[in-house]
Amino acid sequence: MQRSAPNIHPWNQNVIFSIDRLMKEIDWEPEYTFRSAVEQTFEWFMNEGLDKTLAEELDFSLEELLLERIRGGG
Specify the number of domains making up the chain.
1
- Provide the pLDDT for residue 10: 66
Would residue 39 count as lying in a domain? Answer: yes
Radius of gyration of the chain from Cα atoms? 18
Would residue 52 count as lying in a domain? Answer: yes
Q: How confident is the model at residue 1 (pLDDT cuts 50, 70, 90)?
A: very low
Distance of CA 48 to the CA centre of its chain: 18
Would residue 35 count as lying in a domain? Answer: yes
- With beta carbons less than 8 A apart as the criterion, state whether 2 and 11 touch: yes
Which one-letter amino acid corresponds to residue 21? R
Domain range for 59 is: 31-70
Average pLDDT in the 10-21 region?
Answer: 78
